[in-house]
Structure 1
Amino acid sequence: MEKVSVIVPVFNAGEFLRQCLDSILNQTYSNLELILVNDGSTDGSAAVCEEYRQKDKRVRLVHKKLGGGGVGAARNTALPLISGDYVLFVDNDDWLEENHIEFLYQSLKESDSDIAVANFTEFFQDRGTFGFHMSSEDYFRKVYTPQEWFKMQYDGHFSFSQCFTVPWAKLYKAQLFENIVYPEDEKVEDDYTTWKIYLMADRIVYSNSGIYFHRKSSTSVTKTVDQTYVFPLRSIEERVAILGLIGFDISEELRAYRWRLQLHKDSFLEAGRMQDYHKCLQKLAILEKWL
């Protein structure tokens, strides 16, 4: 069995951390290492991490000081430490179906792919209810080239757009992360990074099965930060540039870029950031004239 390196950034995970860690260490696929990066937790999460390190030799632990760059910095800290053949990310308040890793590993090997992707199931913490994006009748598995995969990213079915962007619910060949760096100065970092890893792959296998449980609450990052941080301009401008240079169809990217420009324009106007507001107007005017 090849080894899987599971990376979990930890920051004040509270009562949810044990469920997360247990779901990883009790996987049906057991040849794994669990790399915990504690980013200065002050709520007892550090002690829980230490407890799990002491009772399971597969657990490796790094403690960082508070304010060390957030989730992006935690991932950057963990990646040079991996000894596995594959990489898998889990958020510290989420949890996995018990065969999550085995399922992804088998789908990757059977399809000779570089990345195996699954969908997810939401758990709304404040209501104590689950949100299902699909039923058993919706299951399918398909192998994509990167060009085909990027055509899917704005598909609204099965919450696919979020599935495309997030780093979790995916098993990656470790070699894909050479020179990958997560931003450490952004409130939401995945929109800047996940798509670059796809471009380093040759084959991506997707299984429409919700085997990752993603917890959502009123304090979740995407609920508490401005939507301009969730849908940043800089990341999509970089994506349009690179995809255009390598010959991908960027028509969907340009539509998404226009939408983000409108979002930022309205946000900047409301905040009184008039220079940024006019920059958005200028870019929209250029697109309107030439496209």
Structure 2
Amino acid sequence: MLIAFLNQTYSNIELILIDDGSTDNSPKICEEYRQKYDQVRVLHKKNGGVGSSRNAGVAMASGDYVLFVDNDDWLPETHIEDLYNLLKKNNADIAVGNFNEFDEEKSAFLYWMNENDYFEKCYSPKDWFKLEYRTAYYNMSMVFVVPWGKLYKRDLFKDIVYPIDAKVEDNLTTWKIYLLADKIVYMNKSIYTHRILNASVTAQVDKSSVFPSEAVEQRISLVKSIGFDTTEEEKACEKRSTLLQFDDDYLKSREAKQKLAILKKYREE
């Protein structure tokens, strides 16, 4: 991943490496890259999880834009250039691309689009939220949630922090950044390879952690209060109700189901 990042066709970058209490050879590798490349910065910290690492990286960032890359994923050399050009061309606050996957166990790439599927489109935050549950689009639910595969104006993170006590921080945070933007631009192109590893966080967490009830509560309550149509969100959450009962926090799970039941009751009247 480090070489792919340093070999990007867009070169005006700083690469911030967060050593989150690693017990393998990672700290040494980070230091070797810092000594070799001027644009590499390194932070060694006590283990605090993914959210803690993202917070630390954003706090260290000094550029106008922020982009996340998970340590086990792959980038094409044009990743940053594609997102930067898309964002600047459309005067947007966030540029988003699609992705493909590599299954380590099967040693196989997983694709769901080809070059004929390419398009670009700008969205307001309200329209972007509507897009998440439209099945005609390619894997948009995950594109919507994950922090990577996107270029953000750094100013959007002024009041954003990732939770440090959650197994998966994505669904608790990314949507809040969208609400702070004025314009989001999307390209239907695979610009990122997400690796599925048996030892990765994604592989180890259960489905209730990927869709935590806390995120369900926060998102529906907030976006409904500012006038967004949450019908599709509520329907999707109802379908996930079997997942919520396995939530790590039993009381949060019950509270989420109560709110969904109330929303459903008044929607049907």
Render the CA deviation track for 1:199-255: whole Å, top value 9, x for unaligned: 111111100110111101222322221211100111121111111111111111111
Does the alignment pair 1:247 with 2:227? yes
Aligned match for 1:55, one of 33, 36, 44: 36
Render the CA deviation track for 1:169-215: whole Å, top value 9, x for unaligned: 00011111111000000000010110011111111110011011110
- Structure number with higher relative contact order (C-alpha < 8 Å, ≥ 6 residues apart): 2
User: In the alignment, which residue of structure 1 is the partner of 2:104?
Assistant: 125
TM-score by length of 1: 0.86
User: In the alignment, which residue of structure 2 is the partner of 1:227?
Assistant: 207
Does the alignment pair 1:64 with 2:45? yes
| Structure 1 spans left out of the alignment, 5+ residues | 1-19
CA distance in 2, matches of 1:75, 1:277: 26
User: In the alignment, which residue of structure 2 is the partner of 1:6?
Assistant: none
User: In the alignment, which residue of structure 1 is the partner of 2:75?
Assistant: 96
CA distance in 2, matches of 1:53, 1:112: 33
Contact 2:100 2:112 in 1 (8 A): yes
User: In the alignment, which residue of structure 1 is the partner of 2:89?
Assistant: 110
CA distance in 1, matches of 2:6, 2:113: 27
Please give the residue correspondences for 1:196-211 in structure 2 after superposition, counting only pairs within 5 Å.
196-211=176-191
Does the alignment pair 1:289 with 2:269? no
Kindly tell me the number of residue pairs found equivalent between the two proteins. Answer: 266
Does the alignment pair 1:81 with 2:60? yes
User: In the alignment, which residue of structure 2 is the partner of 1:141?
Assistant: 120
- Look up the SS of the partner of 1:154 in the other structure: coil
Render the CA deviation track for 1:41-95: whole Å, top value 9, x for unaligned: 11111111111111001000000123xx201001111212111011000000011
CA distance in 2, matches of 1:37, 1:250: 37
What is the identity, as a one-letter code, of the residue corresponding to 1:25? L
Alignment root-mean-square deviation, CA: 1.9
CA distance in 2, matches of 1:277, 1:206: 33
What is the identity, as a one-letter code, of the residue corresponding to 1:85? D
User: In the alignment, which residue of structure 2 is the partner of 1:35?
Assistant: 16
The Cα shift of 1:155 comes to 2.7
- Look up the SS of the partner of 1:98 in the other structure: coil
TM-score by length of 2: 0.93
CA distance in 1, matches of 2:218, 2:236: 13
Contact 1:94 1:215 in 2 (8 A): yes
CA distance in 1, matches of 2:179, 2:107: 37
The Cα shift of 1:107 comes to 0.6
Contact 1:261 1:284 in 2 (8 A): no
Please give the residue correspondences for 1:18-29 in structure 2 after superposition, counting only pairs within 5 Å.
20-29=1-10
